[in-house]
Amino acid sequence: MIVGSGITGAITAYKLLQEKPGASIVVLEARQACSGATGRNGGHCRAGRYLEFKDYLEQFGE
């Protein structure tokens, strides 16, 4: 059982399933998924930055 579906809870579930693919895991969340600190802080995950990486590399170099 994992309490919280933020980045820590999500990565914990992911890693547990990698280690034990047949494991039964439940993630408990009081609100919507990632609605706590993970969804509010400025350090949230955003794939768009990586999709634009080639453009940044061309503009600014290595």
Tell me the C-alpha distance between 21 and 52, whole Å: 33
pTM given for the model: 0.56
pLDDT tens track for 20-31:
999 999 999 888
Mean pLDDT to the nearest integer, 58-62: 82
pLDDT mean across residues, the chain: 81
| Assigned token pair, 26 | 């439940």
Q: What is the pLDDT of residue 36?
A: 72
Q: How far is CA 36 from CA 4, 8, 21, 49, in A?
A: 9, 11, 28, 22
Q: Which residue has the tokens 């600190």?
A: 37
Residue 44 has pLDDT above 60, yes or no: no
